[in-house]
A and B are shown apart, each in its own frame.
Chain A
Amino acid sequence: MKRQAANTSWTLTNKRREAIAAYLFLAPYLFFFLVFLAGPVISAFVTAFVEWELLRGTYRFIGLENFQLIMEDDLFWIALGNSLYFAIMTTVGNVIVALSAALALKSIRLGHTLFRVVMYAPVVLSISVIGIIFSRLLAPFGLLNAGLELFGHNGFDYLADPSLVLPSLSLTTIWWGFGFPMLIFLAALYAVPETLYEAARIDGAGRRQILWQVTLPLIRPALLFIIVTQFIAHIQVFGQPYIMTNGGGPGYSSYTIVLHIYRNAFSYYHMGYAGAMALSLGVVMFIFALVQFRLLGRYTEY
């Protein structure tokens, strides 16, 4: 009996040791999580309720006043509208291009790995490089218009025409970023059992029917993941207008919400107001993600 009790005690101690070891392994991650993620999030939350003018050194609690200012700030709403338009356009474009590329890649054998690497390659470039390349391509006297001129067309002022600027930035972003969703789609496509395709073909289904009735329903979890993560990433667009349209031009045609937050925080020093806008953007993103989960998640087969 005594021996059994001693064994139990030894087992518990061993478990504790394992737990301690596990926590020690987790500690570095937790440290960085607390310092660089949780800390700033809490700090931004508090900042949203204070008037904090960086240069003047004022810091005082003002309750919901910053949120009241947001309601009166027409630039906040213009920027939010632009960001939503950009995010929806880019997410849809990315899904279509990435899925098409993944389907094409799955159907070939020769050079499959090479093409996969080449298509993923732009993802590794920084936004500064992408911005400079596309600013030159899309300039009034740039390469794209030079190509159009060969066909007798005068071309367009892609980045200076208010109606073209956001679609141009969106196309740039799609070219830059479709490699990542393409890999996710490719992995999802390979996970679909071949037997299902064979069964569909035996039942007389054509290519289009197979795509809509077999492939898409079975890769829906990947589709949901891509739509939600891409939307969250693209509503926070910053680098493209910052580099390519001189910070949101022409006028405010490509002025985005993160640019507005950035300018208020680091160019105008209104830290409290910027914090309130960041919190509001977080809420908007949460609501959109929730809607996307509700709409797409309902039909997802895991």
Chain B
Amino acid sequence: MQTKLVSRILLVLMILHLVGALPLTAQDEGEVQELGTGEIEVNFWSGLGGPDGQSLTDLVTRFVEENPEVTINYQILGWGTFFDKLSAAIVAGSGGPDIMTLWHSVVPQYALTGHIMPVAEQMFNLGMLDKDDFSPALLDSVSFDGETYPVPFDNYGSGLYVNTHLLERAGISFDDPPENGEEFIEYVRRLTWDENGNTPNDDDFDAENIAVWPLSIGWNRVTVTPALYQWGTDVVTPAPNAEVLVDSEEAKAAVQYIHDLVFEHHVLPGVNWSGELMLNDGLSMYLDGAWVYNFYNTNMEDGQIAFWPYPRLGPERGSTIMWSHTLAVTSNIEPDVLDATMRLIQFLSDNSREHSIKTGMPSARLSLRDAELADLIWTFETLTTQMAAEGVPEYQSERFTEVENIMAAAYSSIFTGQQTVEEGLDDAAQRIRRALR
């Protein structure tokens, strides 16, 4: 009898094991693709995955078709692996990339230590690219000692993806986005419903059983940094000799606003969710970057999704963050490889409009942001208009990765209630000061 019982228990365990041990599809991240058969070999590492990565791969493939003397050893890596591997390769002096994609925010880490060259400056001087065709603020952010280092490839920001079905249910017109922080809170309250269909404005609203969340955020870095700008501050002042600003009163007020959305108004989950809930009308608004465009464009019906600018939350001014994926070149590159690499950069830059259409990420070239794109990409006009008027490049630091990890943990602690705003930001400031010493 006991043996039978044990056998049954083991059978259940076996089934659980088999379910859990189902094999997953092997991932091909990190695999080197040898594109072309030319004699000049260029090693290209890219951190762009998903549709962005596919679009870039298509462009690189076209480049080698048009330039048969060049072979591109092309490798796509997840951003985490990318930076870990890059540092080791750069210092080892071999086995690394000749050209790579870099966020503009991390450029000082490599430019100020001499590991990447001012290739953009060289290309401007050779007439391969027109300096005036780029946003001056963006070029400033990748220039040191008067020289521009990498070439900005795209230029993007963040905003609010809104579910138009739910806007309609709340009686809010898409043509009437929130004007300030107070109105934003009013909107999110109207866009929240519990399982009985009540909103936080009703007396019997059940905050424990929310059926439709009004707002979710994918990445605190995307959400909180623009709020810091709108309260007139930032994480740190520009490198070098950066000063820490996150424990300022302005920074605390900005973070307190987001904190209150979680704990006082109960309209924002304290943890980062993906925006998938919006597909089945379980989420009204998703605050995230331009890169989410493709996901919604592919998965939502026409007219079910629209895009508002990053809301004006702060008391002083409306600002939004902007980033760029740049194309950087290592300092120890061979002359013939450099020539092919610069031609590749020129090709990619010249064709970045095509990349915009496929991915929704605006080109860094101002001349390639024509009006026709607004008809093709539903985020385009809002995004580029706000970036042009209010865009502030994300803070930069020689210790960007370390500072960013500290801030990510601080936001996470604050928005999950482990620490108060004051405690979280004071700790973060202390850790950043230590890192910058």
Instruction: Please encode chain A, from 50 to 62, with 1 for each CB lying within 8 Å of some chain B CB and 0 for all others.
Output: 0000111100000
Size class of the B contact interface (CB-based, 8 Å): 35 or more
Given contacts A122-B21, A129-B24, contact A115 B10 (CB under 8 A): yes
Q: B20 in the interface, Cβ–Cβ < 8 Å? A: yes
Q: How far is the CA of A251 from the CA of B87 in the complex (A)?
A: 26
Q: Which one of A154-162, A211-219, A278-286 is at the interface?
A: A154-162
In contact, A154 and B271 (Cβ under 8 angstroms): no
A30 within 8 A of B: no
Q: Are A55 and B109 in contact (CB under 8 A)?
A: yes
How far is it, in angstroms, between the C-alpha of A253 and the C-alpha of B91 when the chains are bound?
A: 33
Interface residues as binary, A100-130 with B (CB distance below 8 Å gives 1, 0 otherwise): 0100110111110011001101100100010
Cβ B7 vs Cβ A110 within 8 A: yes
Interface string of A126-147 (1 = CB under 8 A from B): 0001001100000010000000
Tell whether A175 is near chain B: CB-to-CB under 8 Å: yes
Q: Inside 8 A of B401's CB, which chain A residues have their CB?
A: 267-268
Give per-residue flags for B123-135: 1 if the beta carbon is below 8 A from chain A beta carbons, else 0.
0000000000000
Verify if B265 is at the interface (C-beta below 8 Å from A): no
A-side contacts of B6, CB under 8 Å? 104, 107-108
Does A295 reach chain B (CB closer than 8 Å)? no
Q: Is A263 an interface residue (CB 8 A)?
A: yes
Q: How far is B271's CA from A157's CA once the two chains are assembled, in angstroms?
A: 9
Chain A residues with CB under 8 A of B208? 154
Stretch binding the partner chain, chosen from A18-26, A84-92, A225-233, A242-250: A242-250
Whether A266 lies near B88 (C-beta < 8 A) is yes
- A287 at interface by CB-CB < 8 Å: no
Q: Does A252 contact B (CB under 8 A)?
A: yes
Given contacts A107-B2, A162-B418, contact A252 B409 (CB under 8 A): yes
Of A55, A118, A129, A263, which is within 8 A of B17 by CB?
A118
Residue B317 at the chain A interface, CB threshold 8 Å: no
Question: Chain B: which residue is nearest A137 at the CB level?
Answer: B20
Contact residue among A75, A118, A133, A162 (Cβ-Cβ distance under 8 Å from B14): A118
Q: From known contacts A104-B6, A121-B21, A140-B273, infer whether A266 and B13 are also in contact, taking CB-CB under 8 Å.
A: no
Q: Is the CB of A238 closer than 8 A to any CB of chain B?
A: no
Q: Which residue of B83, B402, B410 has the most chain A CB atoms within 10 A of its CB atom?
A: B402
Judge whether A185 is part of the interface by a CB distance below 8 angstroms.
no
Quick check: A54 and B2 within 8 Å, CB to CB? Answer: no
CB of B416 within 8 A of CB of A250, answer yes
The reply to whether B24 and A132 contact each other, CB–CB distance below 8 Å, is yes
A269 in the interface (beta carbon within 8 A): yes
Decide if B115 is an interface residue (CB 8 Å cutoff).
Answer: yes
Q: Quick check: B83 and A267 within 8 Å, CB to CB?
A: yes
Give Cα distance in the complex from A57 to B416, angstroms.
39
A253-275 Cβ-contact flags toward B at 8 Å (1 or 0): 10100000001001111000000
- Residues of B with C-beta under 8 A to A248: 409
A9-61 CB contacts (< 8 Å) to partner B: 54-57
Cβ-based interface call for B435 (8 A)? yes
Which residues of A sit under 8 angstroms from B20, Cβ to Cβ?
122, 133, 175
In the bound complex, what is the Cα–Cα distance between A122 and B22 (angstroms)? 10
Q: Chain B CB within 10 Å — which of A110, A250, A267 has the most?
A: A250
For A157, give the chain B residue with the smallest CB separation.
Answer: B271
Answer whether A55 and B115 are a contact pair too, CB < 8 Å, given A157-B271, A160-B271, A253-B418. yes
Smallest CB separation, B349 vs chain A (Å): 27
Q: Chain A contacts of B412 at CB under 8 A?
A: 249-251
Q: Is B211's CB within 8 Å of the partner chain A?
A: no
The 8 A CB mask of B376-420 against A (1 = contact, 0 = none) is 000000000000000000000001011001001110110010110
B416 touching A119, Cβ below 8 Å: no
Q: Shortest Cβ distance from B404 into chain A, in angstroms?
A: 10
With a cutoff of 8 Å between Cβ atoms, the chain B residues found around residue A269 in the complex are: 87
Distance between Cα atoms of A269 and B399 in the complex (Å)? 10
Complex Cα gap A268–B427 (Å): 19
In the bound complex, how far is the Cα of B405 from the Cα of A269, in angstroms? 14
Question: Within 8 Å CB of B270, what residues of A?
Answer: 160
> For residue A249, which residues in chain B have a CB less than 8 angstroms away from its CB?
408-409, 412
Give CA–CA (A139, B425) in the complex, Å: 28
Residues in A neighbouring B1, C-beta threshold 8 A: none
Q: Which of A118, A157, A253, A255 contacts B13 (CB 8 A)?
A: A118
CA distance A154 to B84 in the complex (A): 39
Contacts of B427 in A (CB 8 A): 74
- A55 and B91 contacting across the interface, CB-CB below 8 Å: yes
A70 to chain B, nearest CB (A): 12
CB contact under 8 A between A268 and B13, given known A54-B91, A251-B416, A255-B409? no
A-contact bits for B22-46, CB 8 A (1 contact / 0 none): 0110000000000000000000000
Partner of B271, one of A56, A250, A263: A250
Q: Mark B173-189 against chain A: 1 for CB-CB distance below 8 A, else 0.
A: 00000000000000000
Q: Is the pair A115, B409 in contact by a Cβ cutoff of 8 Å?
A: no
How distant is A51 from chain B, measured CB to nearest CB, in Å? 12
Q: Which residue of B lies closest to A165 (CB)?
A: B416
Task: Name the residue on B nearest A134 (C-beta).
Answer: B20
The answer on a CB contact under 8 Å between A111 and B10 is yes
Q: What are the 8 closest A-B residue pairs judged by CB atoms, nearest first?
A: A251-B413, A160-B271, A250-B416, A266-B84, A118-B14, A250-B412, A55-B113, A268-B402
Chain B contacts to A: CB under 8 angstroms: 2-3, 6-7, 9-10, 13-14, 17-18, 20-21, 23-24, 80, 83-84, 87-88, 90-91, 109-110, 113, 115, 208-209, 270-271, 273, 399, 401-402, 405, 408-410, 412-413, 416, 418-419, 427, 431, 434-435
Beyond A55-B110, A119-B14, A140-B273, 12 additional contacts (C-beta under 8 Å) are A73-B434, A104-B6, A105-B10, A108-B6, A110-B7, A125-B21, A129-B24, A249-B409, A250-B418, A255-B409, A266-B87, A266-B88
**CB pairs A–B below 8 angstroms (29 shown):** A55-B87, A55-B109, A55-B115, A56-B113, A73-B434, A74-B431, A105-B10, A107-B2, A107-B6, A108-B6, A108-B7, A109-B3, A114-B14, A115-B10, A119-B17, A121-B21, A122-B20, A125-B21, A129-B23, A157-B271, A162-B418, A247-B80, A251-B409, A251-B412, A251-B418, A252-B409, A252-B413, A268-B399, A269-B87
